[in-house]
Structure 1
Amino acid sequence: MTGRAVKTVAAVDLGAESGRVIAASFDGNRLTMEIANRFANTPRVQGGALRWNIEDLWARIGEGLAGLAGGSRPVSSVGVDTWGVDYGLLDSGGMLLDAPISYRDDRNAASFALALQTVGAKRLYAATGVQVLAINTVFGLMADVRDDPTRLARARTLLMMPDVFHHRLSGARTAEYTGVSTTGAFDMAGNRWATELLDELGVPTHMLPEIVPPGTDIGALVPDLAVGSLRDARVIVPPGHDTASAVVGVPLTDPGGLYISSGTWSLVGLETSSPVVTAQSQRSNLTNEGGYANTIRLLRNVMGLWILQECRRQWQREGTDISYPDLAEMASKVQGLVSIVNPDDPAFLAPGDMPARVRQYCVDHGLPVPQTIPEVVRCVVDSLALSYRAVVDYLVDATGERPPSVNIVGGGADNVLLSQLTADATGLPVSCGPTEGTALGNGAVQLATLGEFDGLADIRQAVAASTMMRRYEPRTGGGWDEAQAVFRRLVAADQRTDPTPPDNPRDRT
């Protein structure tokens, strides 16, 4: 549209490994993005727990916004997406009681076991429709009650991580729907807080805030930040859970297509119009999480590229620094499907010497042990592809329909080896892109609220027009059927030694 004014918004996207502040613009035809600041996310141990470095993240966000404020292009709004599950507690003055605890801290294990004993996995799933996992918010709240009975009493407001930042940006104390949907404390079918379940678990509910849908304008940017090009900016909450924003940014090539939001975690699922809460979906441990425009994300979480990221960090500590593309290229040259692990085994959840854990897993399960760096990488990537294939089977069992194709968004879309192996493992064509799908979806929802898009389909049409997609066709043979049988035996064996519900470990980006 020649002559149309370009509208720009600030999309703040915080992932488990890194964050970014991005200027997302729309000229009537194409969406473009410009990075204002990119920074590491570095949790730290404090007060005996692994906590998010909230003040450092806030400072880095401020640097990015200051850069945009100093530019010549007006910025119409700001919105934040982050990982799910974690939360902050505000006192009566609006200050955090303490730094939010990371889902990778092990404090939830005891309260998770207590919840299973108290109400059982079926009750937890039926009340919420989400995967019954130790890292869910509800078990962190139970741990709060156990560890410091006065802590929740002192809290006036519980905010999920995106809304902690939205509070600092605007002063509002509201909770965005998609973030809340990750808690295991929200009734997806009833569209409300699961207060009866929380009462049964001994969790107080006085601090639960009002829930608003993604795309809500919650107010003006606070005066300290509303300067320069941000002078008139509003705070518009995008889908606060990063995966929900990423799914908005998926230019689905086929109706009913499967999406994989691939980053630190891989979220593999379908978009549905209503929650699927059945005995079959529970057996498959599928989760129902909120999406944009009254959609539901029926999905499972797979450990994702976290294992590879931790492997690379360990190799860097040992003096070997190899880029992710080079690691994938090296792994492509070694034989595949030799060593296999279950990426969702709890052994892989915490930070640490991940190559040693991969090898130990293989030793413990009587499998060939990968020795070299390329062999470890190939083991991890093969295992992720097998996990994706397993989720496809679970979704088919739950819905009765097989997806026609796969769309991968996020940083994992650039992993050529994983993308091709995903096509080979699932037998489905795979389309990859955009890499910054989360920030793109975040910005697009803000732009829709500002009148630039007419709904989700219009957003996706613009995303498709703005993205260079890469496509991978499945190759026949390769031993995937035999490897999948081995993979399923590993999962079954891990379930027998893990007291958690079937196929437990996971979370979000």
Structure 2
Amino acid sequence: MNVLAFDLGASSGRAVIGHLEQGELQIKEIHRFSNDPVQVGPHLHWDILRLFFEIKQGILKAVQLGYNDIESLAIDTWAVDFGLLDKNGELLANPYHYRNDHTNGLVEEVNHLLSSEEIFSKTGIQFMPINTIYHLYAMKKADNVALHQAEDFMMIPDLLRYFLTGVKSNEVTNATSTQLFNTDSMDWDDSLIKTLGLPEHIFKAPVKPGTVVGKVTQRICKELKLEEAIPVVTVGEHDTASAVVAVPHVGEESFAYLSCGTWSLLGTEVSQPIKTKQALEWNMTNEGGVDDTFRLLKNIMGLWLQQECMRVWEKEGESVTYQQLNEAIEKSPPFKALIDPDDQRFIKPENMPEAIQQYCFETNQEVPQTKGEILRCVLESLALKYRFVLERLEKLTNEKFTCLYMVGGGIQNRLLSQFTANAIQKPIYAGPIEATSIGNLLTQYKGLGYIKNLQESRNIVKNSFPITPYSPADNEEWNHAYRVFKELIDT
């Protein structure tokens, strides 16, 4: 019962073998690789062929390690990005990166053609310039040749699956992130697509997670010396959909989760999308989940802020380790300054530390100077933003969450986990770290018939992986900081 998961994030990817036996899941990472976007002229692209090469390397390493009995494999990635195929099934151009700035100003422009109320009532998706709808519209405005010649629209995991199998399909959890998918009909919204002047024929019928869509081609089997063609299964191919499968919640009551990495996604699982006027006003989002669920959540900038600071310092020859930074953060005074992590200036600044300092200067705060002060500002602000969003989730769902589950690589930042418990004044249960890979594996097992449902999957997670609790502290100090934070982001 070995299956293989490929989990590709915005900065790195990994191949993980899963072995399920007697209700316990064991995982082993067998391949890890960087995912480096490439700037070409004015545009930022993904190196999609390099990513496909690394996927084949992952399969090859599995074979070399003696895993000749792999029952299936699956791929999850980040959302919104895509490639286009021509009439011969060939990729027309390197996919754009979601931070490519050709979508600047297009949220407002599209809203002149279609009101935000109409778009939200159909899609339930929050308005962000990174959304697929704006990248496609930017290509249309630019008279993009690839869009003219396109016969098939493939999101990143769809595209990589196609390279492996030759089968074209659009997986549903990722499709919902495009802001072109109707969450009532659970199909592409032809009226939105037609109004924007996009080609309707390129979008494929949606496929649910847990579907065997094909097998690795004979050409690849020969190349990688596979004894048998491995079945390829759809999972929650939007990586957050997979991560939520691995939330270790047991029981029927509602729960809140925070999938924490380059992006932070804070939300709850619901049976139907919440598309009220208040949800629209607060720019919440409803993304498809595994087993016909929805993820009512908010995208928050996340540890991108810290990663970009470290990248700038390394480029300037001031490289520091995470341990050194954590020590510097702990020695820095609390609440010297705060930022709104989702301010537009932080999406793709040339110099993140300077952007943070400029924000603090413009909002009449004491400007953080040292690395420790800057990163303490980042982590405290993220924790306070989590509280802000969690309170809104509780109002939208009429729920009072008793705790928050944190999953993903970001939980390795113990300061962020503790700050979050302090900010929300609720217990935090942190783990598992490799939630996305685990959710990917468990959905494969469900598709193969070894697991019945989400609840069984989550029981397996709870029985298989360590969970670290964090208790809230310094309540009065954090309450005061939260009042300051709310005034800051309301101005």
2:217 aligns with one of 217, 222, 234: 222
Match of 1:14 in 2: 8
Contact 2:240 2:436 in 1 (8 A): yes
Letter in 1 for 2:318: T
1:296 to 270, 273, 294: 294
Q: Does 1:118 align with 2:116?
A: no
Distance in 2 (alpha carbons) for counterparts of 1:339 and 1:173:
50
Q: Does 1:239 align with 2:236?
A: yes
- Quick one: distance in 2 between partners of 1:267 and 1:487? 19
Aligned residue in 2 for 1:348: 346
Equivalent in the alignment of 1:374: 372
Please state whether the residue corresponding to 2:291 is helix, strand or coil: coil
- Structure 2 matches for 1:107-256, cutoff 5 A? 107-148=102-143, 150-226=145-221, 227-228=224-225, 231-252=228-249, 255-256=253-254
Instruction: Indicate which of 331, 334, 337 corresponds to 2:335.
Output: 337
TM-score, normalised relative to structure 1: 0.93
Aligned runs of 1:252-267 on 2, under 5 Å? 252=249, 255-267=253-265
1:192-237 CA-partner distances (Å, limit 9, x unpaired): 1111122222222111112100111001111233355662410001
- Match of 2:434? 436
Following TM superposition, by how much is the alpha carbon of 1:447 offset from its aligned partner in structure 2, in angstroms?
A: 1.4
**Alpha-carbon distance in 2 for matches of 1:297, 1:271:** 5
* Percentage identity across paired residues of the two chains: 37
Q: Residue 149 of structure 1: CA displacement?
A: 5.1
Q: What corresponds to 1:491 in structure 2?
A: 489
- Which of 66, 70, 73 is the aligned partner of 2:64? 70
**SS of residue matched to 2:15:** strand
Which residues of structure 1 form unaligned runs of 5+?
1-6, 494-509
| Structure 2: segments with no counterpart, 5+ residues | none
Q: Which residue is equivalent to 1:44?
A: 38
For 1:110 and 1:311, how far apart are their aligned partners in 2?
A: 26
SS of 2:57's equivalent in the other structure is helix
Structure 2: distance between partners of 1:280 and 1:288: 13
Q: Retained in 2: the 8 A contact 1:75–1:230?
A: no
Q: Which moved more, 1:291-300 or 1:250-259?
A: 250-259
After superposition, the C-alpha distances for 1:344-399 in whole angstroms (9 at most, x for unaligned) are 01111115321111111111111111111111110000010011001111111211
Does the 8 A contact of 1:70 with 1:228 survive in 2?
no
CA contact (8 A) 2:217 2:229 kept: no
Deviations 1:77-123 (A, max 9, x none): 11100000111111111111100001101111233221122222222
CA distance in 1, matches of 2:161, 2:390: 35
Superposed CA offset, 1:50-91 (max 9, x none): 000111111122211111122322111111000001111111
The count of aligned residue pairs is 487
Q: Which residue of 1 aligns with 2:55?
A: 61
Aligned mates of 1:364, 1:476 — CA distance in 2 = 29
Question: 1: distance between equivalents of 2:318 and 2:348?
Answer: 22
1:253–1:407 CA contact under 8 A, matched in 2: no
**Matches of 1:381 and 1:110, distance apart in 2:** 29
Deviates more, 1:77-86 or 1:192-201: 192-201
* Greater displacement, 9-18 / 141-150: 141-150
Summarize the Cα distance change of 1:230–1:37 in structure 2 as closer, same or farther, 3 Å threshold. farther
The CA deviation at 1:168 is 0.7
Deviations 1:226-267 (A, max 9, x none): 355662410001110000000011112563121000000000
SS at match of 1:35: strand
| Structure 1 residues 154 and 385: CA distance shift in structure 2, 3 A | same
Q: Any conservation in 1 of the 2:218–2:229 contact (CA below 8 Å)?
A: no
Per residue, is there more helix in 1 or in 2? 2
Distance 1:118 1:470 in 2: 48
Q: Distance in 1 between the 2:178 and 2:381 partners? A: 27
Aligned equivalents of 1:329 and 1:222: distance in 2? 51
- Displacement after TM superposition at 1:329 (Å): 3.5
Q: Is the 8 A contact 2:250 2:459 kept in 1?
A: no
SS state at 2:469 partner? strand
Relative contact order: is structure 1 or structure 2 higher (C-alpha 8 Å, sep ≥ 6)? 1
Q: 1:86 aligns with which of 81, 84, 96?
A: 81
Give the aligned partner of residue 394 of structure 2: 396
Q: CA RMSD in A?
A: 1.5
Cα contact 1:76–1:230 (8 A) shared by 2: no
Secondary structure at the counterpart of residue 266 of structure 2: strand
For residues 229 and 325 of structure 1, what CA distance do their matches in structure 2 show?
A: 42
Aligned AA (1:320): E
Q: Comparing 169-178 with 343-352, which one deviates more in the overlay?
A: 343-352
Deviations 1:470-494 (A, max 9, x none): 000111424222322322233233x
1:291–1:122 CA distance, 2 compared to 1 (3 A): same
Give the Cα separation in 2 of the matches to 1:88 and 1:339.
41
Q: Could you say if the C-alpha distance between residues 354 and 429 of structure 1 is closer, same or farther in structure 2, counting changes exceeding 3 Å?
A: same
CA distance in 2, matches of 1:452, 1:327: 44
1:430, distance to aligned residue in structure 2 (A) = 0.2
- Do the aligned residues in 2 keep the contact of 1:253 with 1:405 (CA within 8 Å)? no
Contact 2:9 2:77 in 1 (8 A): yes
* Shift in CA distance, 252/332, structure 1 to aligned 2, threshold 3 Å: farther
Query: Secondary structure, in 3 states, of the residue corresponding to 2:466?
Result: coil
SS of the aligned residue for 1:32 comes to strand
Letter in 1 for 2:415: L
Q: Secondary structure at the match of 1:269?
A: strand
Q: 300-309 vs 323-332, which deviates more?
A: 323-332
Structure-2 separation of matches of 1:348 and 1:13:
26
| Residue 144 of structure 1, CA deviation | 1.0
Q: Distance in 2 between matches of 1:361 and 1:208?
A: 41
| Amino acid paired to 1:456 | L
